[in-house]
Chains A and B, each alone.
Chain A
Amino acid sequence: GQQLNQSPQSMFIQEGEDVSMNCTSSSIFNTWLWYKQDPGEGPVLLIALYKAGELTSNGRLTAQFGITRKDSFLNISASIPSDVGIYFCAGPPAYNNNDMRFGAGTRLTVKP
């Protein structure tokens, strides 16, 4: 099945630090999505990317769609305690645009 490899698995940072996480796949994606999941809640979309090379920001979050279309990264600048949660990359398999698969997630802990 379609595999998304996300790293790092977890991060422990100090409030105010910047964070970077990434996602890679052996296959080409047409769309990359980044979600955040708070405890006990469903995933919430943060950023959607549709074109190779695209760089998109949402407040302190910036994500890029890799030129090869096989990777993406998410940066969070000046982290705050409410950034705590699990961040997932996701995307539809290239052979089927109707479905979406998730990476394993990056668990972010921010120490005040």
Chain B
Amino acid sequence: EPEVTQTPSHQVTQMGQEVILRCVPISNHLYFYWYRQILGQKVEFLVSFYNNEISEKSEIFDDQFSVERPDGSNFTLKIRSTKLEDSAMYFCASRPGTENYGYTFGSGTRLTVV
């Protein structure tokens, strides 16, 4: 069964440092997403990406965040200057582009900012 792959599974970084979270979506999917889940809380939408550009972003996705699909395979989330409150699980998801049930989530990257 096709999977969404995320690396690393766990990242520890110092406050103020830049981090890049990587995702490999399912190969024939067209829509890509990043979600965040702070420990014990709900899954929050960050950004959606289609046709090589951001289609929508939430209020959480401020100027410190950016996304890229550099090579047609990887889909990355960059956090420029991490803050303590950025500590969370970050989930990548993708879907084929036809119906919403096709969302597939990766296993997540646990980001810890110290």
Enumerate chain A interface residues (CB-CB to B < 8 A). Answer: 1, 31, 33, 37, 40-45, 48, 50, 88, 90-92, 96-105
With contacts A31-B100, A42-B91 taken as known, whether A101 is within 8 angstroms of B45 at the C-beta atoms is yes
Give chain A's interface secondary structure class: loop
- Asked if B61 lies at the interface with its beta carbon under 8 angstroms from chain A, I say no
- The answer on a CB contact under 8 Å between B100 and A33 is yes
Contact of B42 among A45, A88, A99 (CB under 8 A): A88
Task: Assess the A48–B108 pair: CB atoms within 8 A.
Answer: no
Q: Distance in Å from the Cβ of A106 to the closest Cβ of chain B? A: 11
Bound CA span A101–B91, Å: 13
Cβ-defined partner of A100 (8 Å) among B41, B45, B50, B55? B45
Q: In B17-66, which residues have CB < 8 Å from any A CB? A: 31, 33, 35, 41-45, 48, 50, 55-56, 58-59
How many residues on the B side are at the interface (Cβ–Cβ under 8 A)? 26
Chain A's nearest CB lies how many Å from the CB of B44? 7
Of all chain B residues, the one with the shortest Cβ separation from A105 is B42
**Nearest Cβ in chain A — how far from B108, in angstroms?**
5
Q: Which residues of B contact A (CB under 8 A)?
A: 4, 31, 33, 35, 41-45, 48, 50, 55-56, 58-59, 91, 93, 99-101, 103, 105-108, 110
What are the residues of chain B within 8 A of A88 when measuring CB–CB? 42-43
Q: Is the CB of B42 within 8 A of A97?
A: no
Q: Is the CB of A98 within 8 A of B105?
A: no
A41-B107, A43-B91, A88-B42 given; A98·B50 CB < 8 A:
yes
How far in angstroms is the closest Cβ of chain B from A97? Answer: 7
Separation of A45 and B105 alpha carbons in the complex (Å): 9
Residue in A43, A48, A98, A102 whose beta carbon sits within 8 Å of that of B56 in the complex: A98
Q: List 30 A-B contacts (CB under 8 A).
A: A31-B99, A31-B100, A31-B101, A33-B100, A40-B107, A40-B108, A40-B110, A42-B4, A42-B91, A42-B106, A42-B107, A43-B43, A43-B91, A43-B105, A50-B99, A90-B43, A91-B100, A98-B50, A98-B55, A98-B56, A99-B33, A99-B48, A100-B100, A100-B103, A101-B45, A102-B35, A102-B45, A104-B41, A105-B42, A105-B43
